[in-house]
């Protein structure tokens, strides 16, 4: 663990700095949203509807990024939307990682019938379009933060399971695993102390990618109005609203879309960077 | 003999996967909180009506028996009746499937053309700024999903520079009567190129949104395979014969480098089809995915179930065809 962290600190590349910078900024913005939001994200002002952002004619300086059709402040809604996006990224990403990676590790190391069952489940999962599966789950579970997180974990655990299974299989065939066995380590102990540390870099890189995917899935679900309660601001919900009024008020769509772009791009660049960095061939 | 056995094994695993998918759908649908019967009847229905409908759908029986009844109906193509549209789910799903298939195939073609052309160009100008530029573009294309590309395209070519339609499948003003649901195919076959143009104008943006991430994947893999090929002896031979670099890449390197990319395209095609669900919604395109989201919003469970099952069938079939094509194309497996 310690030297993995040491490596991250020495990561080169402007892309990774930019990605890390944007995500740090986003985390701070989300944490301090109640302090820095200029307005209540839910407060409607029908007399201030569809005000353009500050650089356009007819803007109100109190509403920096303009307002939507109900006169709600776009900037404040984006700041509160960042909270939800990051909570989903963190919680759903981590849970998906824990469940998927554990199943992959078990399947890849223990092989036999356990592997057969888990692999069959992965095959079955590959038969469903992920977004449709998520929407179906929300239809059944009802909307809400918990449902969104459960849906993401259920549709995406295979992403970890597939990769970790293949890696664990490769590692399991190595001599150092055999010597651990000879030294009298239990199977479970070997999996935990020998295999896991060696597949951990891959898992960390995948987790970063998964966080970006979780943000997108949440945005898609709120775009079709199936995420959390409708009165809570989300980027996807703002984008859906902006899509309908795109010719009258482009800013309602563009600003949250831009934030979503940067966030997903950052997670994925960070993940790709970590993947390259940990790649034994490149190392 | 061995190839027959491999084929049979593959068919059996496909059937197991399909059966498993059916079980998952059944389980998910039946854990719905709330009585599915109550949703089918108007409020204030009598006890007797409820019982009659329950018996009709077999809901008064045990869960295992219910599954047997359900699966035997599904196998016969009986997915029940849509609650909101009051038509057989089978007819609705089959009616919408062509729109989704046309969109998916169009997106696949675009992805192959863009990704292939980019890979060939990057190989031709390898080591130069052109390759660097293509790599950066490919990296960004790969990092963002179809949903975001769709929104970006709507902004660029729907609003800022309105070149294409960003909503629907065909302009109603054309007043063209189709006899099938394969609109594009039919318009082509009937030589109505005005209709073809209108259809393409509607399809291009959603298809491009679906194609961009796949094009980037094709670019990366094909470029890598081409690069490895360029060090082979037959390339040096072709060079000493004095052929132009571009014709060497096309005629000698490409045929040798393409197999991994073809397999990958097959695998990725199911992901692309999966993407149509949200892309159709985004562009109000009248396909299966758009209908699925409406069905979920209206809690029309028989319809959702039918659509999910059709997608599962489509995906497993695509995977099966890809595996068989791979076996047919790969000499090592062909002669095994």
Residues 6+ apart with CB under 8 A from B275: A129, A131, B145, B146, B147, B210
Is there a contact between B148 and A260 if contact means CB atoms under 8 Å apart? yes
B49–chain A nearest CA distance, Å:
25
Contact state of A124 with B297 under an 8 Å Cβ cutoff:
no
CB B166 within 8 A of CB B157: yes
Contact: B20, A121; criterion CB under 8 Å: yes
pLDDT of residue A4: 46
Record: contact A127-B28, CB cut-off 8 A: no
- Half-sphere exposure for B286 (CA within 13 Å, toward CB): 14
Question: Which residues in chain A are closer than 8 Å to B24, comparing Cβ atoms?
Answer: 124, 128
Q: How far A250 CA lies from chain B's nearest CA (Å)?
A: 8
Say which DSSP state A52 is in. P
Q: Report pLDDT for A36.
A: 87
Model confidence at B32, in pLDDT bands (50, 70, 90)?
A: low
Tokens of B223: 């470029």
Is A194 domain-assigned? yes
pLDDT of residue B1: 64
- The CATH number, out of the four listed (2.60.120.10, 3.40.50.80, 1.10.3470.10, 1.10.3720.10), of the domain defined by the range B94-294: 1.10.3720.10
SS3 at position B260: helix
Query: Does residue B185 surpass a pLDDT of 50?
Result: yes
What integer pLDDT is reported at residue A11 of this predicted model?
Answer: 45
Domain-wise residue ranges, chain B: 94-294
Residue A150 and residue A157: Cα distance in Å, rounded?
Answer: 11
Please state the rounded mean pLDDT for residues B228-237. Answer: 85
Cβ–Cβ < 8 Å for A129, B274: yes
- Answer whether residue B30 shows pLDDT above 80: no
The residue count of chain A comes to 283
Predicted pLDDT of residue A54: 80
- The pLDDT of B147-173, averaged and rounded, is 88
pLDDT over 90 percentage in chain B? 38
* Residue linked to tokens 């062909």: B334
Tell me the average pLDDT of chain B: 86
Best residue in B14, B17, B149, B295 to probe A by mutation, most A CBs within 10 Å? B17
More confident residue, B31 or B100: B100
Inter-chain residue contact A136 with B296, CB threshold 8 Å: yes
Answer yes or no: is A183 within a domain: yes
Q: Please give the ipTM for the structure prediction.
A: 0.86
Residue A173 lies in a domain: yes
Domain residues for the domain of A209 are 25-36+65-278
B224 and A CB contact within 8 Å: no
Q: Quick one: tokens of B324?
A: 């068989």
List of chain A residues with pLDDT < 70: 1-12, 230, 279-283
Residue A121 is part of a domain; what is its CATH number? 1.10.3720.10
**B161 shares contact with chain A (CB less than 8 Å):** no
Top pLDDT among A11 and B209 is at: B209
Highest mean pLDDT among A97-111, B38-52, B190-204: A97-111
Which residue among B18, B311, B319 sits closest to A132, beta carbon to beta carbon?
B311
Chain B residues closer than 8 Å to A213 by CB: 145
Distances (CA, A) of B242 to B121, B175, B229, B247: 20, 57, 18, 10
Structural domains of chain A, count: 1
- pLDDT, residue B287, reads 93
Distance CA B116, CA B258 (A): 10
Nearest to A123 among B17, B33, B278 (CB): B17
CB pair distance less than 8 Å for A261 and B311: no
pTM: 0.88
Looking at residue A160, its pLDDT comes to: 94
């Amino acid at each position: 663990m310690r030297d993995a962290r040491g490596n991250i600190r020495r990561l080169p590349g402007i892309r990774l700095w930019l990605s890390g910078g944007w995500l740090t900024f986003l985390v701070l913005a989300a944490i301090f949203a109640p302090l820095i939001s200029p307005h209540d994200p839910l407060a409607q002002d029908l007399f201030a509807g569809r005000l353009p952002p500050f650089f356009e004619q007819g803007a109100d300086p109190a509403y920096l990024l303009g307002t939507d059709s109900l006169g709600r402040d776009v900037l404040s809604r984006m700041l509160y939307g960042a909270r939800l996006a990051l909570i989903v990224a963190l919680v759903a990403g981590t849970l998906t990682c824990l469940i998927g990676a554990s199943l992959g590790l078990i399947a890849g190391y223990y092989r036999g019938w356990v592997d057969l069952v888990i692999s069959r489940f992965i095959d079955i999962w590959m038969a469903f379009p992920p977004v449709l599966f998520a929407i179906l789950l929300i239809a059944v579970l009802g909307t809400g933060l918990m449902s969104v997180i459960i849906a993401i974990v259920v549709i995406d655990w295979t992403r970890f399971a597939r990769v970790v299974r293949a890696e664990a299989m490769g590692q399991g065939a190595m001599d150092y695993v055999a010597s651990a066995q000879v030294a009298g380590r239990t199977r479970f102990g070997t999996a935990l102390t020998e295999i896991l540390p060696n597949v951990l870099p891959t898992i960390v890189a995948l987790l970063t990618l998964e966080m970006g995917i979780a943000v997108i899935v949440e945005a898609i679900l709120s775009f079709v109005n199936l995420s959390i309660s409708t009165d809570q601001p989300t980027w996807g919900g703002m984008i859906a609203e902006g899509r309908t009024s795109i010719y009258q008020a482009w800013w309602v769509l563009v600003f949250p879309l831009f934030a979503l772009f940067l966030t997903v791009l950052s997670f994925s660049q960070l993940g790709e960077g970590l993947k390259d960095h940990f790649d034994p061939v490149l190392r | 003999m061995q190839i027959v056995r491999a084929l049979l094994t593959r068919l059996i695993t496909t059937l197991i996967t399909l059966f498993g998918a059916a079980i998952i759908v059944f389980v998910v649908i039946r854990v719905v909180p709330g009585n599915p019967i109550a949703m089918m009847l108007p409020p204030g229905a009598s006890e007797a009506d409820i019982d009659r409908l329950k018996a009709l759908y077999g809901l008064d029986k045990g869960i295992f028996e219910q599954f047997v009844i359900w699966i035997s109906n599904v196998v016969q193509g009986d997915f029940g009746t849509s609650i909101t549209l009051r038509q057989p789910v089978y007819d609705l799903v089959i009616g919408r499937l062509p729109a989704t298939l046309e969109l998916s195939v169009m997106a696949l073609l675009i992805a192959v053309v863009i990704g292939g052309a980019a890979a060939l160009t990057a190989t031709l100008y390898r080591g130069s700024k052109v390759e660097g530029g293509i790599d950066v573009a490919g990296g960004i294309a790969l990092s963002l999903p179809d949903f975001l590309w769709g929104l970006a395209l709507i902004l660029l070519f729907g609003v800022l520079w309105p070149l294409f339609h960003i909503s629907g499948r065909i302009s109603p003003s054309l007043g063209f009567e189709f006899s099938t649901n394969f609109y594009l195919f039919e318009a082509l076959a009937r030589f109505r190129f005005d209709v073809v143009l209108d259809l393409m104008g509607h399809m291009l943006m959603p298809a491009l949104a679906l194609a961009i991430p796949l094009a980037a994947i094709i670019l990366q893999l094909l470029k890598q395979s081409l690069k490895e090929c360029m060090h082979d002896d037959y390339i040096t031979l072709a060079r000493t014969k004095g052929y132009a670099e571009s014709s060497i890449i096309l005629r000698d390197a490409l045929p040798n480098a393409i197999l991994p990319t073809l397999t990958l395209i097959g695998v990725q095609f199911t992901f692309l089809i999966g993407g149509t669900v949200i892309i159709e919604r985004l562009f109000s395109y009248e396909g299966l995915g758009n209908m699925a989201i409406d069905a979920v919003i209206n809690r029309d469970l028989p319809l959702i179930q039918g659509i999910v099952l059709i997608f599962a069938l489509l995906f497993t079939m695509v995977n099966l065809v890809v595996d068989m094509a791979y076996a047919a194309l790969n000499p090592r497996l062909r002669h095994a």
